[in-house]
Amino acid sequence: MEMIIGGAFQGKSAYARETHPEVDWKNGADLEKEDLMTADGVLDFQEYIKKELKADQDVTDLAEELSEKNPDIILVSQEVGYGVVPMDAFDRKYREAVGRVCTSLAAKCSKVTRVVCGIGTVIKNA
């Protein structure tokens, strides 16, 4: 498994497409769970988590399930936890869930790249 992470509008998707031209990228916002479990690569993975939470789905075991069923997936996800704690309860739940799920996934990844200003820095290469 591999992850490409970073803040909003840093060029994560462009970096992903460039470094993995063979991948048929799906978009997290409109992905059903069964599609996630078979996808080669997913852009905006954080939007998948948001969609699940909005539908009252529990994402506690998502990292475990995904790594079991789709261990070679490439995930592109936005880091959303670098601001002031939001006033809105759902926003707080969402940013926390993205953090927890992605922390679990990063532990299972062989490679994690962080994109800042379009530049990818490999922060894990196991």
| Positions in the binding site for another protein (CB under 8 A) | 3, 5, 7-8, 79-85, 89, 92, 95-100, 102-103, 105-107, 112, 114, 123-124
DSSP 18-76: HH-TT--EEEGGG--HHHHTT-SEEESHHHHHHHHHHTT---TTHHHHHHHH-TT-EEE
Give the nearest distance from C-beta 114 to another protein in angstroms. Answer: 6
Q: Whose Cβ is closer to another protein: residue 31's or residue 98's?
A: 98
Q: Whose Cβ is closer to another protein: residue 30's or residue 61's?
A: 61
Distance CA 83, CA 7 (A): 11
Q: Whose Cβ is closer to another protein: residue 32's or residue 56's?
A: 56
